[in-house]
Amino acid sequence: MITTPQPSGAIPDRTIYERRESAVRSYARSMPRQFGKAEGVWMHDDQGGRYLDFLSGCSTLNYGHNHPILKQALLDYIAADGIAHGLDLHTHAKRDFLATFEQLILKPRGLDHRVMFTGPTGTNAVEAAIKLARKVTGREMVIAFTNGFHGMTLGALACTGNATKRGGAGVPLSHVAHEPYFDYYGPEVDTADLLEQRLADPSSGLDAPAAILIETVQGEGGLNAASPEWLRRIAEIAKAHGALLIVDDIQAGCGRTGGFFSFEDMGFTPDIVTLAKSLSGMGLPFALTLLRPELDQWSPGEHNGTFRGNNHAFVTATAALRHFWGSADFQRDVERRGELLAMRLGRIAAEHGFEVRGRGMMRGVNVASGEFASAVTAACFDAGLIIETSGAHDEVIKVLAPLVIDDAVLAAGLDILETKIREAMAADYAVAAE
Ligand SMILES: *Cc1c(COP(=O)(O)O)cnc(C)c1O
């Protein structure tokens, strides 16, 4: 079912990248091919290779590459000379998105949040969220968590845990406290208790926070999934201490964990929510920040940006909402596939003494070594499977398959992963035995 990419004919000239593209490029290094086409769960290089995509643009392509319904909606819009860029002017595309988002997502979930269109990347949505929290509360300090990832611009980067990423800031990253996430010290220590104690103690040294910023499943930080009880506690602690609860749902949202939001049915409502990645549904840049109406204390243009109305993204996002979120079928499918994924990863983990992480279709296997994990993902790539790592030491092999993937294709991809892990384990034993 999955073809191994065999170079056929001439290997394309890629020296332009070496010559001109900044050294900051990263994914292109572990996947040294040039891609031309993609559809559904498949990507094609120009050497005749076909790859099953278990990365999905870091969960940007939850509905797969070039979904025909989304693509057609965009083609029709462009053909009719629809507005492509209009600053934040009112357009038909924006109206349709807002009305559909209200009808299919916000209202059924009892959310009365306002929709703030930020710049088009996730980090913009996070910047807007923490800026607003500081403005509204008059406080400076934000509580973020160990292994959290929130983006690369200074405010969001200050909330990110990863030392390598932080090191690029060039200036002090301040006004953020990084508290231990769920199970950071293992299951014996309730880190919500620790946070509560520190906030209640006037001598703990922890300033009163403007916000508590959290991912319900840490996407880049190793697929740590917090329990609903713990998250509910964090929500209560935020409320008790006058801090706003910001859920960064940029990676875990848009269906990745089953529901449209990752915190659904957990018994709390975030004050602020950030969305990006799969929001446009087709990989087009589009982010937004949701805020409870009483928090909407912005003055016009106070948080601005030229690209706060990607109308093409509005069109594809609207088509995605209508196609996938108009009934409960899609969510049921995703939940079923998530169970399938958990079962298969559980089998792999049990065979080698590894540990499964995550929730829904956002799961992975902790192989305890970044070196081992990257050997496995490299072998998977050579076998036609695109898959990446996550975690403090890149020690978690993470499966971010498109949510629309066929069960049989999902199983075939997991077969490759299972085989490559087994082979890498055997090679490790062989080396150890020498
Ligand atoms: C990817 C990500 C971001 C940053 O989004 P960009 O579009 O890369 O700026 C922020 N938070 C989380 C949880 C993410 O996964």
Q: What is the 3-state secondary structure (H, E, C) of 38-77?
A: EEECEEEECCCCEEEECCHHHHCCCCCECCHHHHHHHHHH
User: Of the candidates 302, 325, 348, which is a domain's last residue?
Assistant: 325
Position 13 confidence tier, pLDDT thresholds 50, 70, 90: confident
Atom 6 of ligand 1, nearest CA residue: 122
CA 113, CA 123: separation in Å to the nearest integer? 20
Q: How many CA atoms lie within 13 A of 358 on its CB side?
A: 32
CA of 122 to the centre of ligand 1 (A): 5
Mean predicted confidence (pLDDT) in 9-13 = 76
> What tens digit of pLDDT does each residue of 206-245 get?
999 999 999 999 999 999 999 999 999 999 999 999 999 9
pLDDT cut 90: percent of the chain above it: 94
CA 401, CA 59: separation in Å to the nearest integer? 8
| pTM for the full predicted model | 0.97
**Shared domain check, 108 and 206:** yes
Write down the pLDDT at residue 428: 84
Atom 11 of ligand 1, nearest CA residue: 150
Choose one of 58, 149, 162 to mutate for the ligand 1 pocket test, by most ligand atoms within 8 angstroms of C-beta. Answer: 149
Q: Is the pLDDT of residue 2 over 90?
A: no
361: domain CATH number is 3.90.1150.10
**Degrees, nearest 5: CA angle 260-261-262:** 120
Q: How many CB atoms lie within 10 A of CB 79?
A: 8
Mean predicted confidence (pLDDT) in 176-204 = 98
pLDDT cut 70: percent of the chain above it: 98
- Indicate the pairing of strand 141-145 with strand 209-214: parallel
**Shared domain check, 341 and 257:** no
CA of 58 to the centre of ligand 1 (A): 9
Q: Is the pLDDT of residue 198 over 90?
A: yes
Please state the atom number of ligand 1 nearest to the C-alpha of residue 215.
13
Number of domains in the chain: 2
Task: Characterise 183 by phi-psi region: left (phi > 0), alpha (psi -120 to 50), beta (else).
Answer: left
Write down the pLDDT at residue 11: 79
Q: Can you say whether the dihedral through the CA atoms of 343, 345, 346, 352 is positive or negative?
A: positive
Q: Is residue 11 part of a domain?
A: no
Task: Indicate the burial class of 210 (C-beta count within 10 angstroms; 0-12, 13-18, 19 or more).
Answer: buried
CA of 3 to the centre of ligand 1 (A): 32
Position 14 confidence tier, pLDDT thresholds 50, 70, 90: confident
Mean predicted confidence (pLDDT) in 117-139 = 98
Atom 15 of ligand 1, nearest CA residue: 251
Write down the pLDDT at residue 7: 62
**Shared domain check, 173 and 104:** yes
Q: Which residues contact 123 (CB under 8 A, 6 or more apart)?
A: 150, 151, 152, 153, 156, 157
User: Of the candidates 325, 348, 381, which is a domain's last residue?
Assistant: 325
Pocket of ligand 1 (CB under 6 A): 121-123, 126, 149-151, 215, 219-220, 248, 250-251, 276-277
**Shared domain check, 261 and 363:** no
Please state the atom number of ligand 1 nearest to the C-alpha of residue 285.
7
Q: State how far Cα 208 lies from the chain centre.
A: 29
**Shared domain check, 127 and 168:** yes
Q: Is residue 240 part of a domain?
A: yes
**Shared domain check, 355 and 208:** no
**Shared domain check, 143 and 291:** yes
Q: Is residue 113 part of a domain?
A: yes
What's the chain's Rg over C-alpha atoms?
Answer: 22
As a whole number, the mean pLDDT across the chain is 96
**Shared domain check, 365 and 305:** no
DSSP one-letter code for 294: G
**Shared domain check, 347 and 287:** no
Query: Which residue type occupies 369?
Result: S
| 31 in Cβ contact with 377 (< 8 Å) | no
CA 281, CA 42: separation in Å to the nearest integer? 16
Choose one of 61, 123, 147 to mutate for the ligand 1 pocket test, by most ligand atoms within 8 angstroms of C-beta. Answer: 123
Position 8 confidence tier, pLDDT thresholds 50, 70, 90: low
**Shared domain check, 275 and 350:** no
CA 114, CA 125: separation in Å to the nearest integer? 13
Atom 10 of ligand 1, nearest CA residue: 150
Q: Is residue 261 part of a domain?
A: yes
**Shared domain check, 170 and 206:** yes
**Shared domain check, 222 and 187:** yes
CA of 102 to the centre of ligand 1 (A): 23
Instruction: Give me the domain span that covers residue 155.
Output: 68-325
Q: Strand order of the sheet with strand 355-359?
A: 355-359, 362-366, 396-399, 388-390
User: Of the candidates 267, 299, 325, which is a domain's last residue?
Assistant: 325
| 235 in Cβ contact with 270 (< 8 Å) | yes
Q: Is residue 31 part of a domain?
A: no
Indicate the SS3 state at residue 209. strand
Q: How many CB atoms lie within 10 A of CB 411?
A: 15
Mean predicted confidence (pLDDT) in 57-86 = 97
- Indicate the pairing of strand 355-359 with strand 141-145: unpaired
